[in-house]
Homo-oligomer: A and B are copies of this chain.
């Protein structure tokens, strides 16, 4: 087994101003390809600290991934330390300097002279292109060990990892080859999901499933370590059975949010939607409009937080509110119909509920939510009972509403 290790360099990681998401991302991607990360060391921008971390890492790991400290300012010490450590000579690379200059010119700026040193690279390292920023990555090799060096800027690090380092590691470590598949679910808690598929999983000992629970649902990541032969057939079999068991909760196998999945469906079916929100307070519409091009199918909506606005803007009957209360099946119905009429959309979606901490009554607890849909000649309302936390209730209700539309169009 190839052992990997991460060294994160940067004062911002040690004074608490920045969460080390780089290390988490590197660890996840390497875990998925079957190369476990056994250590993460986080050190300051100090020569001695970086050197000590390297000593420890080289004593126990075959693959070492360093991020941070590659920039042009005096507090960026990773490259100088490595040059000393691996007894390199710095050589000037005109092609790198040109790339850096072009990057500044594209932003209408002259390259500050300090960036010239970006083009000085160790003679005994391979250069890894940085397609987003100015600091190139590096790869040193020592006694069969690989030492990758990446910038600390998350987006630059991520792209370099995906485009260059992961493919390289796959080549260097053929026995690490694994395939991972994603199944994104919503509407079912992690433990219930586990119960439904536990027996199934036992039939596929080469498949490891990671459960990643979030407020909006649980992602399943399936890591396959089976032999190349018959892999495809086995996986199709696995997948078919998985869908038999939990298919209704899976909204995508791609790396997409639910609002993007729903958006694609709406665009394909040429349907438009409008939304009347009470408990979710604008969150559903915020989610829908996070998707570029959502104006193709999302017409707009109303946040009807007060009874008066439910009546005036959505045509909810005052008698319905009086008789059943604002949080009721009846009012959810009328909100969905009202918003659909008002905006002239194909689908009207509505939410009403009690987010908490206040607002509960004897018969209506915090977390009670009704979601309504008016679509074609159909009218449906689903009742939910979420939890005690205001923000959680809003998030869960918004996700449930989007999912209810997905399932019913």
Interface residues of A (CB under 8 A from B): 13-21, 23-32, 36-44, 49, 56, 210, 212, 274-275, 277, 280-290, 292-295, 298-306, 308-309, 312-313, 342-344, 355-358, 390-391, 394
Given contacts A14-B36, A16-B24, A292-B390, contact A313 B302 (CB under 8 A): yes
Q: Cβ of A39: which chain B residues have Cβ within 8 Å of it?
A: 14, 41-43, 49
Distance between Cα atoms of A31 and B44 in the complex (Å):
13
In the bound complex, how far is the Cα of B57 from the Cα of A41, in angstroms? 12
A283 and B286 form a contact (CB under 8 A): yes
Chain B's closest residue to A46 (CB) is B38
Between A and B, 13 residue pairs with Cβ closer than 8 Å are A16-B30, A19-B24, A20-B40, A38-B43, A39-B41, A40-B41, A274-B309, A281-B290, A281-B294, A282-B286, A285-B305, A293-B358, A306-B343
Chain B residues contacting A17 (CB-CB under 8 Å) are 28, 210, 212
Further contacts, 8 of them, CB under 8 A, given A15-B210, A41-B42, A292-B357 = A16-B27, A16-B28, A16-B31, A282-B284, A282-B289, A300-B306, A302-B302, A302-B303
- Report how far A18 CA is from B304 CA in the complex, Å: 37
The reply to whether A15 and B28 contact each other, CB–CB distance below 8 Å, is yes
A20 to B357, CA, bound (A): 29
Of B40, B49, B292, B342, the residue contacting A358 (CB under 8 A) is B292
B56 and A38 within 8 A (CB): no
Q: Please name the residue on chain B nearest to A59 by beta carbon.
A: B52
Name the CB-closest residue of B to A212. Answer: B17
- Give every chain B residue within 8 A of A298 (Cβ-Cβ): 305
Q: Are A306 and B302 in contact (CB under 8 A)?
A: no
Is B295 a contact of A300 with CB atoms below 8 Å?
no
A302 and chain B: residue at smallest CB distance: B302
* Residue of A17, A36, A293, A303 with most partner-chain B CB within 10 A: A303
Query: For the complex, what is the distance from the CA of A295 to the CA of B307, rounded to whole Å?
Result: 11
Shortest distance in angstroms between A394's beta carbon and chain B's nearest beta carbon?
A: 7
Known: A41-B40, A275-B303. A342 touches B357 (CB 8 A): no
Min distance, Cβ A209 to any Cβ of chain B, angstroms: 12
